[in-house]
Every structure is written in C-alpha cells, then in structure tokens.
Chains A and B, each alone.
Chain A
C-alpha cells in the first residue's frame, strides 16, 4: 500500500501531489529545499547531486509522517532505481585524475562514485538497518520497479519501503519519484 509520495524535477516539487512553493531551479532548488525544510544535516553540502536529490526527496517524504524519532530500525528498506547510475559523480571524479600533471584524486568525490551511496546516506541519517539497494535499469518502468519492491516484502523483516526512481544525469537534469510503501 502506497502511503505518501514525493516528486522532484529541476522545476517542480510535489509532495503527495501538492506543489511545494520554491523560487530556485536546478541544483539550486535542492539547496533551497535543504535550507527551508531540513537544515540540520551539513553533510548535505558534501554529497553529489544524486545523493542530494535522494536525500531531499526522502526527507520531504518522511516529514509528511512527522514524529521523526531517528530510533534504529530494521523493518524499513530503501530501494531505488535509475538509468544513469552515478555517472555525474564518476565524470567529476575522472576530471580530478585526467591530467597526469595535475593528478589530484579527490577522496570526497570518489566516495560518491557508486549509486547505492544515496541509499546508504538515507539509511545512516534515519538509522535504518534494513535492506538498501540501488538498481540500474534501462528506463523508468513502473512495472519493473513495483515488481522488485513487492519482492522485497517477501522477507519476514521488511514492513515498509522508501522506494522509487532517483535519476540524475547532471546538476541541472534530474528526477525523483519516490514513495513510502507499507506491507
């Protein structure tokens, strides 16, 4: 059963289908949402755009529920899908090692060269110890996404899932369509 949903594009933010007011667009929109609706997690500024997107979307989603106690739990999974994996972070990291004369691999950039880091960021923030996974598929496909999420409920532990599509091809092109689902 789907309980809540959040959609973020470079120009629009919908929380449970209702538009959320904002002034900025693109990556500046994510920073605006952080400052206006979160604000207590400075690690946000160190994340790559994919992680920022997933993090902000999950925060807006969890804020709908209210009563965020941050108590450790293992009955909630975080399962995302996208098309571009962490290509933007990979490209950025490559730029730090491209020139043999200026070979300065950035550890902070390297950390984000895996798409599943975004699910890890959300799990760490909320103290979730359940399943976390990030699957890369050809394109947005609701059938594939729902099938995989339903499969995740087969285990005896998972009772709810933050799941959906978190795609980012670069700082100005991204889309999150995520939801909170219960067994």
Chain B
C-alpha cells in the first residue's frame, strides 16, 4: 500500500501540474480539497480521468468522488480494491 500511495502522489502531482510539490510534501491523510491541497472542481474531474487512465476505474457516480477523494490514503484504498489494471 505504501508503494501505491507514493505512486499516487506522483500521479496527482503530474495530472494536476502541482509543479512546486514533491510526493513527500503531500500528507496522505490530509484533505485533498479545501484546507489540505486546496484542489478545485476541475481538479476533481482530472482525478476521475486519471483513475480511469491509470487504474481502469470508471467512476459511474461523480458524487462518489467526494468520499473517494477525501485523502490520498482513502483514494489508494479505493484504487487497491477496485482497480482493473
């Protein structure tokens, strides 16, 4: 799981162009939106695309993103359980 979390942090940085950030700067338990990383709704859509592209997960209900994108750790857990590639 640690490896997946680290890879996920790298993929988030790349997908969202968080140029000044390194994986070590992201707390896997911190909130991705609002106070934490401060991502916005476009970033949420970009994360949905990234999950489909890299892990073959199609999020049928975008509202579910609210739970899944709570933190990197929650996201990694969801990916580990649902990935098809």
A binds B: yes
Partner of B49, one of A42, A46, A106, A111: A106
Q: Is the CB of B46 within 8 A of A107?
A: yes
Type the 1/0 row for B1-42, where 1 means its CB is closer than 8 Å to any CB of A: 000000000000000111110000000000000000000001
Contacts of B20 in A (CB 8 A): 42, 45
A104 touches B53 (CB 8 A): yes
User: Contacts A107-B42, A107-B46, A108-B43 known; A45 to B17 CB distance under 8 Å?
Assistant: yes
- Tell me the count of chain B residues lying within 8 A, CB to CB, of chain A: 12
Q: How far is the CB of A170 from chain B (nearest CB, A)?
A: 18
A102 to B18, CA, bound (A): 24
Contact B42 A111 (CB under 8 A): yes
B45-80 toward A: CB 8 Å interface, digit per residue (1/0)?
110010011000000000000000000000000000
Please indicate the chain B residues that have their CB under 8 angstroms from the CB of A106 in the complex: 46, 49
Contact yes or no, B52 A46, CB < 8 A:
no
**Contact between A42 and B18, CB atoms less than 8 A apart:** yes
B-chain residues with CB within 8 Å of residue A105 when the two chains form the complex = 49
B residues in contact with A46, CB < 8 Å = 16-17
**Minimum C-beta distance from B49 to chain A (A):** 5
How far apart are the CA atoms of A102 and B85 in the complex, in Å?
A: 14
> Which residues of chain A are within 8 angstroms of B16 by Cβ–Cβ distance?
46, 108
**Cβ–Cβ < 8 Å partners of B18 in chain A:** 42, 45
Within 8 A of B (CB), among A24-55: 42, 45-46
Sample of 27 A–B contacts (CB below 8 Å): A42-B18, A42-B19, A42-B20, A45-B17, A45-B18, A45-B19, A45-B20, A46-B16, A46-B17, A102-B53, A104-B49, A104-B52, A104-B53, A105-B49, A106-B46, A106-B49, A107-B42, A107-B45, A107-B46, A107-B49, A108-B16, A108-B17, A108-B42, A108-B43, A108-B45, A108-B46, A111-B42
- Give chain B's interface residues, CB within 8 Å of chain A: 16-20, 42-43, 45-46, 49, 52-53
Known: A104-B52, A108-B42. 15 other contacts (CB 8 A): A42-B18, A45-B17, A45-B19, A46-B17, A104-B53, A105-B49, A106-B49, A107-B42, A107-B46, A107-B49, A108-B16, A108-B43, A108-B45, A108-B46, A111-B42
